[in-house]
Structure 1
Amino acid sequence: MVRLPLTPAELERGQRLGALLRRARGERSMLGTALDAGVSPETLRKIESGRVATPAFPTIAAIADVLGLSLDAVWAEINRADAAAPARSAHEHHAGERLAL
């Protein structure tokens, strides 16, 4: 399966996701956080740096849970700049973009 290149919006959301997770992790070690979430430290490092802009939903859910973040808060943060974009119908939104979580 060929993976399509990420759009600038997806890359930006990935950067916002990484920044949110870094802030939430605070002084916790990356290793401890990753192990508690059941992901590799390298996976967490890539997500936090924005190198993995569209991680799998279960991965984000596990990390968010360990960090005490609600998925609603994660969703709101990564999509905050999108609110300034022109409104689109739900069909247009889901037909043209991958889920950022």
Structure 2
Amino acid sequence: MVRPPLSPAERERGRRLGELLRSARGPRSQAAVAAASGVSLEALRKIESGRIPMPAFFTVAALAGALGLSLDQVASALSAKSDDVRRTA
């Protein structure tokens, strides 16, 4: 099965997710957050860099939990800016 290409808005949302996770991680290392969340270090690196713009729900939930973020906070941070992107497009 071939996936359809991601839209520019989906790619932008992935970049913003990466920024949110990096910001919430603060001075902690990626390795520490990966270990605390049960997500592989490589997956975390790719998500933070935007190379995985649409990670699985449970991956996001595990990272959010390890970083002290609620899923509401994550959704709010990403949807608020998505609305801005739609208004300017």
Question: TM above 0.5, one fold?
Answer: yes
Matches within 5 A, 1:1-101: 1-84=1-84, 85=86
For residues 19 and 34 of structure 1, the distance between their equivalents in structure 2, rounded to whole angstroms, comes to 16
Q: Aligned-pair distance for 1:83?
A: 2.0
How far, CA to CA, are the matches of 2:72 and 2:80 in structure 1? 12
How far apart, in 1, do the equivalents of 2:16 and 2:55 lie?
13
Deviations 1:34-90 (A, max 9, x none): 01111110100000000100000000000000000010110011122222336xxxx
Q: TM-score, normalised by structure 2?
A: 0.91
For structure 1, the residue ranges without an aligned partner over 5 or more in a row are 87-101
**Identity rate of aligned residues, in percent?**
57
Structure 2 portions without partners, runs of 5+: none
TM-score, normalization: structure 1?
0.81
**Alignment RMSD, CA only?**
1.0
- Structure 1 or 2, whichever has the larger Rg, is 1
Query: How many residues are treated as equivalent by the alignment?
Result: 86
- Matches of 2:40 and 2:81, distance apart in 1: 29
- Partner AA of 1:72 in structure 2: D
SS at match of 1:3: coil
CA separation in 1, counterparts of 2:83 and 2:7? 17
Tell me the SS of whatever aligns to 1:53: coil
